[in-house]
Structure 1
Amino acid sequence: MEILRYAAFTDRPDGGNPAGVVLDADGLSAGQMQVIAAELGYAESAFLSRRSPGRATVRYFAPEAEIPFCGHATIATGVALADREGAGDILLSTPVGPLDLRTRQVGNRFVASLVTVEPRVEGIDDDVRNELLQHLRLTVEELSADLPVQLSFAGNIHPIVPVRDGAVLRGLDYDYDGLKGLMMAQGWGATIAVVHRLGPDVFEARNPFPPGGVREDPATGSAAASLGAYLRARGDVAPPATLTVYQGSDVGRPSVITVDIPPTGGMTVSGGAVPISA
């Protein structure tokens, strides 16, 4: 068994979000996958099994738990496959449903794109919202005046928390244990997307990830997709549109995530990935 290491949503090994990738995990139990993910210590790792031409099954593990869907580990998987077998398309069977994963060559590197499951957006209970803000150590005055806090799903549920300016985003310092408890109680197994709008279709983001045992995620493809779904549902973008999300600079691993927002259906999340040394 070979454990590959890739940084996704970047073109440099010290940027983006690292992911472990195992392309032949048929002989591994869920417990073994969890141990490998914990030893790697990355936000998530992807394990492929039941591979056949154009198809495979994938499972995702964070250091402390299995995750239904992970954008950056899927992008890393696509590039890892392309590095070995050339660009192409593969249909992935995931715990949240089938995902189309496509790779193409751009210059001397590969770029991967995934199409998410059908998204949905819903409101958040006032008491839950208030507790969320308490654990994020954010005041109502620090929130965006134009964009509300809502829940958005494009494979994982992500609370979308827009803040008023970049200074609030830079100063984010949350209560790890309190936020983890709230997220576990609410069934939010992925990240909180704290975002600031830089332009009509450009955002910067920070993503706490305590359910996975990670203080902050450097690049979160599923959260970026959920942000795209949130903007479409609110009518804040005119599809087809392309959303750019900058993330990771606050933890020293800058990343760029691109989300194509169609008029209907799943979001298309794209990015590059590069191998990193053990």
Structure 2
Amino acid sequence: MRIDVHFVNSLTDNEAGGNPAGVVTEGDALNDTQKLEVARQVGLSETAFVSRSEIATIKLEFFTPTRQIAHCGHATIATFSLLRQLGKVADGWLTKETVDGCRSVLVEGGEVLMEQRSPTYSEIDGKSALVTRIAQSIGTLPADFHVMPTVVSTGNRFLIIALPDERCVAEARPDFPAIKAISDELDLIGYYLYCTSTKVAGRHAGTRMFAPRFGINEESATGTAAGPLACFLHDRMGIEDRHITIEQGRLMQPASPSVINVNLEISDCGISRLMAGGKAVVPSSKHVEI
């Protein structure tokens, strides 16, 4: 069986860089085993599969080369950007059905934003052995943490790690087996390291993301991690802006500059919802035989 796969560079910075995702627009004919095989052959961090939905604009499933995952930010942006380019959806509010319910998506002005939930926080005890293990897993010391690492979830759990400056983030030495073990222990997607130094003035954070638990050692743009970080910056670090811009991919090797925009919706009870995303470019497509 021949499967058409579109390659989409998602969350690009001025149409450059970004994080590539595979998108299969005709996913109805494939079972989960076949989808996993397509994702394995594509070899990107995630491949998205579009199917018909009775409750949303589309049904959207995400597969890494090793397993299915519930959500993927950059592959969501990639999918809706591609569908808009193909004329299969219009600008405006849309929805995606996922394995754990429906989420809103906004397509507007060449940008795609996806809904994430209000945040929950769980701070790591600074006196625990765990904080030492976390530091060792990225080649640093607990004293280098700007604040204590915190698990933040807006639907996906990430360990937010604040480091003093760009050099510390760039020179992090990830021990992937150790990161995987801690991610299993804390039920994380992965680590999100950040500093407030950025390449472009006016942006809020420069980041790196490690998720070996899901077969992703490092990727250049992670929408599902940018949402938790934006909430953390607002709620824990005193940043009052409701529009947060995050750089990713500049500090990895090879570099692939990416930008994720996060809009926070604030109520009397705090952050009630957020929309995260950006722009994408469709450079190519290929065929996969399964």
TM norm. shorter chain > 0.5: yes
* Aligned with 1:89 (options 89, 93, 104): 93
Misfit runs of 4+, over 4 Å: 11-14
TM-score normalised by length of structure 2: 0.86
Work out the number of aligned pairs and report it.
270
Letter in 2 for 1:170: A
Matched, 1:117 2:117: yes
Aligned to 1:68: 70
Shift of 1:173: 1.3
Aligned to 2:106: 102
Matched, 1:255 2:254: no
Provide the rounded CA distance (Å) in 2 between the counterparts of 1:119 and 1:97: 17
Provide the rounded CA distance (Å) in 1 between the counterparts of 2:143 and 2:130: 17
Shift of 1:53: 9.0
Q: Secondary structure at the match of 2:197?
A: strand
Provide the rounded CA distance (Å) in 1 between the counterparts of 2:82 and 2:149: 36
Alignment of 1:57-206 (within 5 A): 57-85=59-87, 86-105=90-109, 110-125=110-125, 126-144=128-146, 147-188=147-188, 190-198=189-197, 202-206=204-208
Q: Is the 8 A contact 2:115 2:276 kept in 1?
A: yes
Letter in 2 for 1:238: E
Provide the rounded CA distance (Å) in 2 between the counterparts of 1:13 and 1:212: 27
Provide the rounded CA distance (Å) in 2 between the counterparts of 1:102 and 1:54: 13
Provide the rounded CA distance (Å) in 2 between the counterparts of 1:274 and 1:187: 32
Percent of residue pairs bearing the same amino acid type: 26
Q: Deviations over 1:226-250 (max 9, x none)?
A: 11122233262226x1111111012
Moved more, 224-233 or 197-206: 197-206
Aligned to 1:47: 49
Shift of 1:72: 0.5
Moved more, 132-141 or 74-83: 132-141
Shift of 1:14: 5.8
Provide the rounded CA distance (Å) in 2 between the counterparts of 1:233 and 1:122: 13
Q: Secondary structure at the match of 1:74?
A: helix
Letter in 2 for 1:168: C
Shift of 1:11: 5.4
CA RMSD of aligned residues (A): 2.1
Provide the rounded CA distance (Å) in 2 between the counterparts of 1:73 and 1:202: 23
Provide the rounded CA distance (Å) in 1 between the counterparts of 2:71 and 2:152: 14
Q: Deviations over 1:103-128 (max 9, x none)?
A: 123xxxx2111111232122235333
Provide the rounded CA distance (Å) in 1 between the counterparts of 2:4 and 2:82: 12
* Aligned with 1:267 (options 230, 253, 274): 274
Specify every segment of 5 or more residues in structure 2 that has no aligned partner in the other structure, as ranges. Answer: 286-290
Moved more, 43-52 or 244-253: 43-52
Provide the rounded CA distance (Å) in 2 between the counterparts of 1:27 and 1:127: 49
Letter in 2 for 1:262: E
Provide the rounded CA distance (Å) in 2 between the counterparts of 1:31 and 1:192: 28
Moved more, 124-133 or 265-274: 124-133
Provide the rounded CA distance (Å) in 1 between the counterparts of 2:284 and 2:11: 17
Q: Are residues 12 and 53 of structure 1, via their aligned partners in 2, closer, same or farther at CA, if it must alter by over 3 Å?
A: farther
Q: Are residues 253 and 39 of structure 1, via their aligned partners in 2, closer, same or farther at CA, if it must alter by over 3 Å?
A: same
Specify every segment of 5 or more residues in structure 1 that has no aligned partner in the other structure, as ranges. Answer: none
